[in-house]
Amino acid sequence: MKPEIKIGLTMGDPNGIGAEVLLRALQFMHPFQDWEPLIFGDP
């Protein structure tokens, strides 16, 4: 069983383009091989 690695990512300013940039970047990294993204944002 592989150790599950979680990497925390922030989307930055909720009124900015950070959320869109983060989601587009994650599209290129999918499927996640050895890690799981944990996305933090301001509700």
Residue 8, pLDDT > 90, answer yes
Average pLDDT over residues 1-15: 84
Long-range contacts of 2-9 (CB under 8 A, 24+ apart): 2/34, 4/35, 4/36, 5/34, 5/35, 5/36, 6/35, 6/36, 6/37, 6/38, 7/35, 7/36, 7/37, 7/38, 8/38, 8/39, 8/40, 9/37, 9/38, 9/39, 9/40
Residue 1, pLDDT > 70, answer no
pLDDT in tens, 16-39: 999 899 989 888 887 777 888 899
Residue 33 is predicted with a pLDDT of 78
